[in-house]
Chain A
Amino acid sequence: MYACSKNEKAIAPEATTISFEIPANFPVPTYNFDDNKLTNAGFALGKKLFYDARLSADNSVSCGSCHQQFAAFANLDHKVSHGVNNCQGKRNAPPLFNLAWQKAFFWDGGVKNIETSPLNAITDACEMGTDIERIITSLKGTAPYPDLFKQAFGSDEITSQKILKSIAQFTAVLVSGNSKYDKVMRKENGFNFSSVELAGYNLFKEKCASCHAEPLFTDFSYRSNGLDVVSADEGRSTITGVNTDFGTFRVPTLRNIEYTGPYMHDGRFYSLDEVLEHYNSGVKAAGNLDSRLKNGVPLNASEKEQIKAFLKTLTDNEFLKNTLYNES
């Protein structure tokens, strides 16, 4: 009894009750916390781990250094290890939100569960087991972690499973569904597209939505949008071993796109203007180029401005500035 009340004082519980909110215009999520009961204590622990550099293979970076909230938890990344002889080189860190709707993770869909997604970052592919052991030992010896694990899972025993489940309580709760676009779609009072945004939305539906499908702005398929004639990164075929998947990558979401640059799997474009110019004039005849892009997507200057105006309605400031998610 005494120990309990002491713990509560030592670690201030989250002020708000953490909940997983499904926006009214979203489909049914894939991850539903059935095997990972969402609690304030679990979320708080997951968030603390997310911002702790003890979790990386060499203690140098935290999840939060590569996934930054002001960038919708995206960032240009340095190399992420993909194992001996299997290096994928530089990949751009994808934003982290609406992950509960994803069935696969990473640009090539190699990871299949949100709970196991952090493993690649926290371990060296060759030394994985030892890395996890080292992290567990370090957390065991660092207050207040044992108490936090006890509050979240009922025992202060620390396992990789509890680490991963608590991180998933943080990452799966990150939902972005309060952009201007969402409010217009949900017909919330006073929200309407401007005429430029509306023109952009219509162009988007015609030219982009077949891949960047509403409301998540991706159909989760793997395609080539013609960045290179021969892709330096094998992409999806590393996972499937199928030639027709060579150089294809997951269609990325475009929510919060204003803040998630640089763009594409290797972060090659620094602005939306460059992206739109790619679709207009830069699409290369890659072997597996998606047939819809055979002739690129011709866009004149005013059409580009309209699409850009629409893309900016996908910015969700409530999400980007939500203090529940920042390092505190």
Chain B
Amino acid sequence: MKTSQYLLALLCPIILLSSCKKSDDEITANPKSSFTIEFEHQVNGAVLALNTTTYKNAKGEDFKINVFKYYVSNIRLSKADGTAYLVPESYYLIDESKSESKFITINKVPTGDYTKIEYTIGVDYALNFAGAQTGALDPINGMFWTWNSGYIFVKLEGTSPQSTAANNALTFHIGGVIDPNNTIRTFSTEINAANPLRVRTDAKPDVHFIVNAASLFTGKTDISFSALNFTMGGANSVIVADNYTKGLFRLDHIHN
């Protein structure tokens, strides 16, 4: 990862000096452009506001959210003809407390009409076990477990009067990649063929997802905070991951 960046940095001036002609040719042959994705955080349709607003889970229990962040990685775009483009090195940490992190720009995408978007909720198997990383995967982001290698894929912390933990805390750190407690989940959504994601050199579309934080607690298993208020990997994390697989993300609309 890093080495290639250094290499690029070294090579850039050379490319600029010596190969202007060639890159022009490449652009006409295989044009690329960009698009943005916006992640709008909600709790069952209400705006997500950290620390202040009280929400209800599917069991009718009150809760507040103090921390909400998660990884989106390995973004893959498919066209109607079945051909696909995997965005290389696509690792993003979306954090409610950092508004800029909720808008991501995907560059150098081959132009075309895409009718499906898929990504990993979390980080793929290999990078959980790789050497020291930087950028979104830097352990400085507080999303890496130090005693059991691997990333926290989805982190939600908060409080609920129903929680039996100290200070009524809710601690949902979802991660782990080894069976039977593998929590890597893939989200996939079809895009209406009438209004596909149109990546064009003269247009940069915006894909808008609604992200429902309450989806951690319902979907497959309704969670009561008196029974489950703490998980850091393991079987309980699987219950939560199975909940949010379907409900965490919903494609709202695309601005072409």
Interface residue? A288 (CB, 8 A):
no
What number of B residues sit within 8 Å (CB to CB) of A?
30
In the complex, the answer to whether A161 meets B149 with C-beta atoms within 8 Å is no
Partner of A161, one of B6, B134, B145, B150: B134
Query: Do B232 and A164 have beta carbons less than 8 Å apart?
Result: no
A231 sits at the interface (CB 8 A): no
Interface segment, one of A238-246, A297-305, A320-328: A238-246
* B129 proximal to A (CB < 8 A): yes
User: Across the interface, do A128 and B146 meet the contact criterion of CB distance under 8 Å?
Assistant: yes
Decide: A165 near B146, CB < 8 A? Known: A35-B3, A133-B140: no
Is B209 among interface residues, defined by CB-CB distance under 8 A? no
| 8 A Cβ contacts from B117-174 to A | 128-134, 138-142, 144-150, 171
Whether B147 lies near A110 (C-beta < 8 A) is yes
* Smallest CB separation, A103 vs chain B (Å): 9
**B144–A119 contact, CB under 8 A?**
yes
Bound: A231/B150 CA distance, A:
25
* Complex Cα gap A56–B185 (Å): 35
B33 within 8 Å of A (CB atoms): no
Chain A positions 2-21 with a Cβ under 8 Å from a chain B Cβ: none
In chain A, positions 76-91 with a C-beta closer than 8 Å to chain B are 80-86, 88
CB distance from A209 to the nearest CB of B (A): 29
Pick from A36, A110, A128: contact of B144, CB under 8 Å = A128
Would you list which residues of chain B between 219 and 247 have a CB under 8 Å from chain A? 230, 232, 234-235
* Alpha-carbon distance A238/B181, docked complex (angstroms): 11
Check A280 for interface membership: any CB of B closer than 8 A: no
> Is the beta-carbon distance between A120 and B134 smaller than 8 angstroms?
no
- Complex-state Cα separation, A168 to B131, whole angstroms: 10
Interfacial chain A residues near B3, Cβ < 8 Å:
35
CB-nearest residue of chain A relative to B147?
A: A82
Known: A110-B148, A240-B178. A86 touches B232 (CB 8 A): yes
B22 on the A face (CB < 8 A)? no
- A149: min CB distance to chain B, Å: 14
Among the listed B131, B147, B180, which residue makes an inter-chain contact with A106, where contact means beta carbons less than 8 Å apart?
Answer: B147
Question: In the complex, what residues of B have CB within 8 A of residue A136's CB?
Answer: 140
CB distance from B160 to the nearest CB of A (A): 17
Check B235–A241 contact: CB distance below 8 A.
yes
In the complex, which residue of chain A has the Cβ closest to the Cβ of B181?
Answer: A241
Min CB distance A57 to B, Å, is 11
Smallest CB separation, A275 vs chain B (Å): 26
Q: Which residue of B lies closest to A124 (CB)?
A: B146
Tell me whether B21 is interfacial, beta carbon within 8 Å.
Answer: no
Q: Say whether A128 contacts B142, CB under 8 Å.
A: yes
Check A25 for interface membership: any CB of B closer than 8 A.
no
What does the 1/0 interface line of A113-150 toward B look like (CB < 8 Å)?
11110011001010011101100100000000000000
Least CB distance from A244 to B in Å reads 12
CB-based contact B147/A132 at 8 Å: no
Compute how far the CA of A96 lies from the CA of B251 in the bound complex, rounded to whole angstroms.
50
**Min C-beta distance of B237 to chain A, whole Å:** 10
Instruction: Tell me how far the C-beta of A116 lies from the nearest C-beta in chain B, rounded to whole angstroms.
Output: 6
Residues of A within 8 A of B142 (CB): 128-130
**Cα distance A125–B180 in the bound complex, in angstroms:** 24
The smallest beta-carbon distance between B180 and chain A, in angstroms, is 6
Residue of A whose beta carbon sits closest to that of B2: A161
Interchain CB contact (< 8 A) of B148 among A111, A160, A161: A111
Report whether A83 and B145 are in contact in the complex, using a CB–CB cutoff of 8 Å.
yes
Q: What separation, in Å, do the CA atoms of A114 and B148 have in the docked complex? A: 13
A116–B143 Cα gap in the complex (Å)?
Answer: 13
* Residues from chain A with Cβ under 8 Å of B2 in the complex: 35, 161
A232 to B134: give the CA distance in the assembly, Å. 37
Interface status of A186 (Cβ within 8 A of chain B): no
Query: Once the chains are docked, how many angstroms separate the CA of A11 from the CA of B181?
Result: 49
* A112 at the B interface (CB under 8 A): yes
CB-nearest residue of chain B relative to A135? B140
Tell me the complex Cα distance, A241–B236, Å: 11
A154 to B145, CA, bound (A): 29
A211, B130: Cα distance in complex, Å = 27
Complex Cα distance A123/B138, Å? 14
Question: Is A160 a contact partner of B132 (Cβ separation < 8 A)?
Answer: yes
Q: A132-B140, A241-B180, A241-B234 are in contact. Are A125 and B131 (CB under 8 A)?
A: no
Confirm or deny: A159 has a beta carbon within 8 angstroms of a beta carbon on chain B. Answer: yes
Contact between chains at B138 and A120 (CB < 8 Å): no
Shortest distance between the CB of B69 and any CB in chain A (Å): 11
**Nearest residue in B to A154 (C-beta to C-beta)?**
B6
On whether the beta carbons of B230 and A85 are closer than 8 Å, the reply is: yes
CA distance A84 to B165 in the complex (A): 11
Least Cβ distance of A276 to chain B in Å? 31
- From residue B239, how far is it (CB to closest CB) to chain A in Å? 13
Chain B residues near A82: list those with CB within 8 A.
Answer: 147
* B181/A159 in contact, CB under 8 A: no
Known: A86-B147, A242-B180. 13 other contacts (CB 8 A): A35-B131, A83-B145, A84-B171, A86-B232, A113-B130, A113-B131, A113-B132, A114-B131, A115-B132, A123-B146, A128-B139, A128-B144, A164-B131
Contact sample, A vs B, 11 pairs, CB 8 Å cutoff: A35-B2, A85-B232, A113-B132, A116-B144, A120-B147, A128-B144, A129-B142, A136-B140, A160-B132, A161-B132, A164-B131
Closest 9 pairs between A and B when the two form their complex, measured CB to CB: A129-B142, A164-B132, A115-B131, A112-B129, A120-B146, A112-B149, A119-B146, A110-B148, A161-B134
